[in-house]
Amino acid sequence: MPLRVAVIGPKGQCGSCVVEELLSRGHTVVGISRKPPAQLHDKNERYSGLAVDIYDHQGLVDAMSDNFDGIVSAFSPPLNDLNTVYHGVVEGQMRIKNALLESTHSGPFIIVGGAGSLFNEDGVQLVDEKDFPFQHWYDWPDQHLFYMKERAIAHGSRFIVIVVSLFRWSRNTIESKSLFSKPLKPIAWLILSRLKPFFLSGPGKSLIEGCRVALSFYTGVTEKPWSFLSPPWLLRDQGVRTGQYSLTLDKIPIDDKGNALGIYNEDMAVAIVDEVENNRLNHKHWSCSGPIGLGKW
């Protein structure tokens, strides 16, 4: 049976994929944000936009009370100023949660957070690991660093482009066994020593730490259905929809060698819409992983 589903943040990397997946299954979608797209590129008649500022409490309560079968919150604040991201995440997620509790919505409610909220095999949240996220970046394959650079270019973030480029060159130079790289290693070590404080700083971890706070907002909440999705560490956009994914609860998805797994946003949207339709993970913190590296990245 077709559902009527709201997506908070319909223009973002995750939200836009969720909208497309819902429409592909015949559902009706209402995109909620301050400036949602009025219509999609294919002018799908089952999509409409509803302009609501999350700082308008009553407006958000009213929007959530509009008899939706399910709601997906893919909210993310502007990322152009890293010094304001933490406040934007925490304040925005708090307002969304408060509006949910005051609304009449009674169907599935899925919040999309960040990978740092997941736990490692020792029961420690990634964001609390020593040298997080620097060490995880260091372990990333070249393909994922290339992806990060390309996405930064697409978003016009010159600073991140420079950071990723310098990080990749330095890491690869240090790890290289070539004699030609030996005289360059001191320079590479120097660059990494200058970059590391950025990764470990508040601004460098602001989105990740803010999403961890968002998860804590829902701990102990039982009066409303909800589930909290933390993407895997190697999340990639503009990939391939395979329809394949595996679920994990609380823990970061890893392979049998302990390497972090990933997923394309397109397949993560499949998992999200499956949860909207089936509501199997109520009051759970979960993640999902699937095939990556099938296309350009």
The class of domain 4-127+205-289 in CATH terms is alpha beta
pLDDT reading at 297 higher than 60:
no
pLDDT tens column, 96-129: 999 999 999 999 999 999 999 999 999 999 999 9
Tell me the β-bridge partners of 264: 236
Listed by start position, the domains of the chain span 4-127+205-289, 129-200
pLDDT tens profile 205-236: 888 899 999 999 999 999 999 999 999 999 99
pLDDT at res. 242: 96
285-289, strands of its sheet edge to edge: 47-51, 28-33, 4-8, 70-73, 109-112, 227-229, 285-289, 246-249
- pTM for the whole thing? 0.92
Mean pLDDT across the chain, nearest whole number? 93
Mean pLDDT for 66-84 is 89
Percent of the chain with pLDDT over 90: 78
pLDDT digits (tens, 9 = 90+) for 4-36: 999 999 998 899 999 999 999 999 999 999 998
What's the rounded Cα separation, in Å, for the pair 65 and 178?
Answer: 62
**265-278 and 13-24 helices, crossing angle to 10°:** 60
Mean pLDDT for the stretch of residues 63-91: 91
Q: Average pLDDT of 122-139?
A: 93
Which amino acid makes up residue 222? T
Whether the pLDDT of residue 296 is over 70: the answer is no
Angle, CA of 70, 264 and 280, to the nearest 5°: 35
Instruction: Tell me which of 238 and 255 has the higher pLDDT.
Output: 255
